[in-house]
Structure 1
C-alpha cells in the first residue's frame, strides 16, 4: 500500500523514531492475527513521519498530556497519537473495560478503530524477553514478572473479547462483528546465536544477554556504549558522543544495579553521531533469582498445559 519507503529518521526526535518503530518494525512472534504494519502506516504514512521528523511539536505536546512513566503506556500514547491523525483511521474507543454482572473485569480493549472504513479491535504490545533455556517457553521478562507464554495466552484471550457476551453492551455501533488483530513489537535476547523456533518470527529483532562480570558480545573494538533507560527501549539509539561511554565506565556504573539493564553498542555513523549496532541485557550476580524463576516457570507450565 505504501508509495514511499519509511524515511531515515536517525536525526529525528527519539519519540518520532519510537513511533516509526511501532508502526514498521517486525513482529517478534506470530500470533496468527497480526495486522500488517502497512495497514496502520497507510499510503501517506512515510510522508507524515517525515513531517513529524521536521516538526515533532504536535507529538511531544500529545505525549506531555499523558502518563509517560511506563513503557507500555508510552507506546500506547504513541499509537493513540497516530490513530487520531492518520486520515485512514478513526478511533471509536480505547482502553475500554468490559465488566460482567458480578462487577468483575472480563477484559479490556486496547483500541477499537475504523480502519479504512472497517471496524477493528486492535491489541498492541511491546515486549522484551530473555531466553533462559530451550524453546519459546523459556523466554522471560527481565523483571521475572512476565513471560512469552503468559503474554501469548493472554493475547489470544484478548483477541476474542469482542465475542464475549458481556462485551456486547460496551461495543460502539458497528463493532458487533468486528475484525480482531494485533500489532506486536519488541526484541528477543539470547545468550548466543539461536535459531528461532515457531511461532517466534525468523526476522524478530534480536539481542544478547550476558552476566556483568563476563565478556559482552561486541561488533568492533572501537565501539562506544550507552545505558538505555526503559523509555528508550523501543527504537535503536542514535546519540551524540557526549551521551556515550566506554565499556569500562559503563561496567562501573552497572555494578550497583540489582536487576538486568539494557545497554547498546554504538558505532560512528559518519555525521558525528553514534548509532546502535547491537543491544543486550547485562545481568547482575545472582540473576535470575531461583525462587522467583521457579514461580514464573510454574505459571508458564500451567499456561502451556
Structure 2
C-alpha cells in the first residue's frame, strides 16, 4: 500500500502545474474498490497508451492554458464536477480513448432518471460507459476489532454520505443506465460496457498506522490517511511538533493531488503552525489538513494527510454507520 502511494507521488511530482497534477492523480491513483460487482475503468488499454499519456501530460504541463480554460470555471464549486471536467478533457484531447459524449441525460415521461457520465470508444473499438466517483471517507469501525470491516463503516466527514449507500447507488442505478430502454432510444450504437471509475482516499483513526483490515470490497492499494478528534490532536501536539513541519488546511478543491511548497511558503506556514494547531483544537467541523516536511533535496513534500474532527463526531459517526444494520 505504501509502495502504491510512493509510485503515485513519483508520477504526479514530475508535473508543476496544479491542474495537471490533479488530472494525473485521477488517472494514476489506485482504485478505491476492487473488481467485484462492478467492472473498473482502466484509463489506459496498454503500456503504450500509458507512456503516451505521460508524454501528453508533460507537454500540457509546459503549456497548461487549454486545460485551465476548460477546468477552472468559477461554476465548478464542487469537487466532483471539477474532477469530471478533468476526465472529460483527457478523453477529448488525450492519446488514449475517444470521447463520444459526456453527461448524457436519460428521461422517462419527461422526468430525468439519471445521467451517463462518459461514453467513449477505446482504441480497440470497445464502447465503454464510465461512471466517475471521487470519494473521501473516514473509517469508524475501529471500536470493535473482533468483527470484519464493512462498507458502512466508511462515512463522509459531514455524515451525509456512506460508502455502502454510494456503492449501492453506483452499481444498481448509475452503471445500469446504459442498459435501459431510455438509453437505447437515444441512438448511441453499442453494445456498451459499463465501468466504474472510482478514486479517492480512506482515512483511519490514529497516527500510528495500525494495520486495519479494510472491508472486502475495498481496493488493496487504496490511498490512506488518518483522523483524530480535536482532543487527540491537542494531546499529540508534542509529537507532531517535534520536527520542522508545515501544516496546511486543505480547501475542498485541493483534496486531489498533493501540492508543492516552496521555501518561502513553508517558512510562513511554520511560523503560523502554532496558531494553526491551536485553531484545530476547537474544530467545529471536520477539517482536512496536510503535513509537509523537508526532503533530502531541501524541498517540501507532503508527508501525510488527515482530518481533525470535533470531539462529538465519532459518536455521531458510529450512530450513522449503525443505521445501516
TM-score surpassing 0.5? Answer: yes
Q: Does 1:148 align with 2:170?
A: no
Question: Of 269, 275, 283, which residue of structure 1 is paired with 2:295?
Answer: 269
CA distance in 1, matches of 2:257, 2:72: 19
TM-score with structure 2 setting the length: 0.81
Instruction: Give the Å deviation of 1:297.
Output: 4.5
Instruction: Give the Å deviation of 1:66.
Output: 6.2
Q: Does the C-alpha gap of structure 1 residues 104 and 289 become closer, same or farther in structure 2, counting only changes over 3 Å?
A: farther
CA distance in 1, matches of 2:279, 2:262: 19
Q: Does 1:223 align with 2:245?
A: yes
Mapped contact 2:12–2:257 kept (Cα < 8 A)? no
* 1:44-123 equivalence runs, <5 A: 44-65=52-73, 67-101=75-109, 103-116=110-123, 117-123=125-131
Instruction: Give the Å deviation of 1:272.
Output: 4.8
TM-score with structure 1 setting the length: 0.86
Q: Does the C-alpha gap of structure 1 residues 255 and 164 become closer, same or farther in structure 2, counting only changes over 3 Å?
A: same
Partner of 2:205: 191
CA distance in 1, matches of 2:264, 2:54: 30
CA RMSD, 1 decimal = 2.6
CA distance in 1, matches of 2:126, 2:156: 35
Q: Higher helix share goes to which structure? A: 2
Instruction: Give the Å deviation of 1:87.
Output: 3.4
Give secondary structure in 2 for the equivalent of 1:129.
Answer: strand
* 1:280-291 equivalence runs, <5 A: 280-288=306-314, 290=316
Instruction: Give the Å deviation of 1:231.
Output: 0.6
CA distance in 2, matches of 1:287, 1:106: 34
* 1:243-262 equivalence runs, <5 A: 243-244=265-266, 245-246=269-270, 247-254=273-280, 257-262=283-288
Partner of 1:182: 196
Partner of 1:35: 41
Mapped contact 1:21–1:234 kept (Cα < 8 A)? yes
Give secondary structure in 2 for the equivalent of 1:130.
Answer: strand
Partner of 1:138: 153
Instruction: Give the Å deviation of 1:270.
Output: 4.6
Mapped contact 1:262–1:279 kept (Cα < 8 A)? yes
CA distance in 2, matches of 1:145, 1:187: 17
Partner of 1:202: 220
Q: Does the C-alpha gap of structure 1 residues 240 and 44 become closer, same or farther in structure 2, counting only changes over 3 Å?
A: same
Instruction: Give the Å deviation of 1:181.
Output: 0.8
Instruction: Give the Å deviation of 1:88.
Output: 3.4
Q: Does the C-alpha gap of structure 1 residues 11 and 241 become closer, same or farther in structure 2, counting only changes over 3 Å?
A: farther
